[in-house]
Structure 1
Amino acid sequence: MINFEALEHNLEDLRIKYLAAQPFPHLIIDNFCDEEKLNRAYNSIPELNNKSRDYAFANNKFEKSNYKVICQELEDLYNDLSSERFNKILSFIIAKNTFVDPKNFGGGLHQGKKNSFLDMHLDFNYHPLNKNWYRELNLLLYLNKDWKKEYGGELKIKDLRTNDESELEIPFNRLIIQQCGPYTLHGYDMTNFPEGKYRTSIATYAYQVHERLIETPRTTDWFPKEDASVLKKIFAKNYNFLVQTKNKFFGSGTAKNQ
């Protein structure tokens, strides 16, 4: 599924673009997959009904973790993303030894339906099951056929240290590789997709093994807009504590949207 040859022939250029990008390292790769195969995959995707577990911080967002069961093309994509060949490409681009989580914990197929949004946030840093896996990258493959600017839903990224930000367009067959760190905020504003169209993406995460923890493990940190309700802001401030307490007694529900 992945156009490996195109990536491998442009590794130096991809590395420079990733490392030099602002407001923090990220990379846009168009025509990431074989177009014909990705079209077949897109046509196989049903409307999802498992609502996101992002609670008050996402609206009308639906997920399916185990997307590879939908069709052969998506299974091929899943396998390509977790392959040693792709891990070598990623490691070269970011100049760090990194690897895609072969079980894609917390990732999967995402659909934003009418008026969907996702508040700005920092993702969890250490893998909930493999405690010394540090999350280095978000890999976001967009499947928005005939996307137009007026549909909205661009990926917003913001550096928490400087408040510098950017908006990245999300057309079909575009992969965005985004650095993960304690300052790499991202999300998207409310969408305006036509009836029957959804903001569609596949999220995959890459990690590095740490011999010692360099940050306090966290779940998601949320940063609602200034005009958000007081209750939402209080919830955001206490979200980590509440989720960690829930997980301690009931376990994590992140990977249950099968």
Structure 2
Amino acid sequence: MINFERLEKNLDSLRIQYLTAQPFPHLLIDDFCDLEKLNKAYEAVPELNNKSRDYAFANNKFEKSNYKEICPEFLELYNDLSSERFNNILVYITAKKTFVDPKNFGGGLHQGKKNSFLDMHLDFNYHPINKNWYRELNLLLYLNKDWKPEYKGHLKIKDLRTNEEAELAVPFNRLIIQQCAPYSLHGYDMTNFPDGRFRTSIATYAYQIHERFIETPRTTDWFPKDDASAMKKLFAKNYNFLVKTKNKFFGSATAKNQ
């Protein structure tokens, strides 16, 4: 499914692009998958009805964790993403011993419907089950057919250290590899897709094994816009505490999302 040969022929260029990107390391890879197979996968995508748990900080966003069940092409993609061959590519590009979570906890098919948005945020840093797996990368494959800038939904990234920002286009068959760090904010503004069209992506995460914690384990940290309500800002400020308290008694929803 993945165009492995094309990636492997351009490893040096991809590595330089990733490591030198601003405001923090990231990489855009077009034609990531075999086009014929990805078209078949796209045609099989259903309209999702499982709403994201980030309801307070996201609007009209839906997800399916086990996207590999949808069709043979998605199963092939799932297996390719967690393969040793792809992990070797990631290690070279990022210059870190990263690997894709083979069970893809917290990831899956994401679908933003009418007026969808996702507030800027930092993702959880340590894996909910494998406590010494540190989240190094988001890998986002976009399935937006005939995407146009006026549809919006660009992936927005911002460095908390410098406040430098960038907006990344999200056309069909583009993979965005984005560093996860305690300063790597990301999200997207409200979309404007035509009726019946959705902002669609597949999210996969890569990790590095740590012998000791280098950060305090956290859940998602949210950064609502300046014009957000006082209630939303207060919820964002206390989100980590509230989620940790909930997890203590009821377990992690992310850990169950496979």
In which range does the TM-score fall when normalised by the shorter chain? over 0.9
CA distance in 1, matches of 2:181, 2:93: 17
Alignment check: 8 A CA contact 1:24 1:159 kept:
yes
Name the counterpart of 1:179: 179
Post-superposition Cα deviations, 1:145-202, rounded to whole Å, max 9, x if no partner, equal 0001110000000000000000000000000000000000000000000110000000
Name the counterpart of 2:251: 251
3-state SS of 1:127 partner: coil
1:253, distance to aligned residue in structure 2 (A): 1.5
CA distance in 2, matches of 1:255, 1:237: 23
CA distance in 2, matches of 1:96, 1:23: 19
1:255, distance to aligned residue in structure 2 (A): 5.2
CA distance in 1, matches of 2:233, 2:184: 19
CA distance in 2, matches of 1:177, 1:96: 14
Q: Which runs of 4+ in 1 moved over 6 A?
A: none
Residue correspondences, number:
258
3-state SS of 1:2 partner: coil
Name the counterpart of 2:232: 232
Alignment check: 8 A CA contact 1:65 1:255 kept:
no
Alignment check: 8 A CA contact 1:141 1:203 kept:
yes
3-state SS of 1:55 partner: coil
Give matches, 1:101-112, under 5 Å: 101-112=101-112
Give the structure-2-normalised TM-score: 0.99
1:252, distance to aligned residue in structure 2 (A): 1.3
3-state SS of 1:254 partner: helix
3-state SS of 2:238 partner: helix
Give matches, 1:142-161, under 5 Å: 142-161=142-161
Name the counterpart of 1:44: 44
3-state SS of 1:195 partner: coil
Alignment check: 8 A CA contact 2:106 2:257 kept:
no
Alignment check: 8 A CA contact 1:63 1:257 kept:
no
CA distance in 2, matches of 1:55, 1:254: 14
Do residues 193 (structure 1) and 179 (structure 2) align?
no
Do residues 23 (structure 1) and 29 (structure 2) align?
no
3-state SS of 1:38 partner: helix
3-state SS of 2:115 partner: strand
Give the structure-1-normalised TM-score: 0.99
- Output the aligned Cα RMSD: 0.8
Alignment check: 8 A CA contact 2:128 2:254 kept:
no
Alignment check: 8 A CA contact 1:132 1:212 kept:
yes
1:14, distance to aligned residue in structure 2 (A): 0.2
CA distance in 2, matches of 1:225, 1:107: 25
One-letter amino acid of the structure 1 residue matched with residue 197 of structure 2:
K
CA distance in 2, matches of 1:257, 1:127: 12
One-letter amino acid of the structure 2 residue matched with residue 93 of structure 1:
I
Name the counterpart of 1:136: 136
For structure 1, list consecutive stretches of 5 or more residues without a partner in the other structure.
none
Do residues 124 (structure 1) and 124 (structure 2) align?
yes
Give matches, 1:194-233, under 5 Å: 194-233=194-233
3-state SS of 1:204 partner: strand
CA distance in 2, matches of 1:215, 1:15: 26
Change in 2 beyond 3 A, CA 1:128/1:255: closer
One-letter amino acid of the structure 1 residue matched with residue 113 of structure 2:
K
Alignment check: 8 A CA contact 1:58 1:116 kept:
yes
One-letter amino acid of the structure 2 residue matched with residue 11 of structure 1:
L
CA distance in 2, matches of 1:172, 1:198: 12
CA distance in 2, matches of 1:54, 1:91: 31
Name the counterpart of 1:11: 11
3-state SS of 1:145 partner: coil
CA distance in 1, matches of 2:249, 2:230: 28
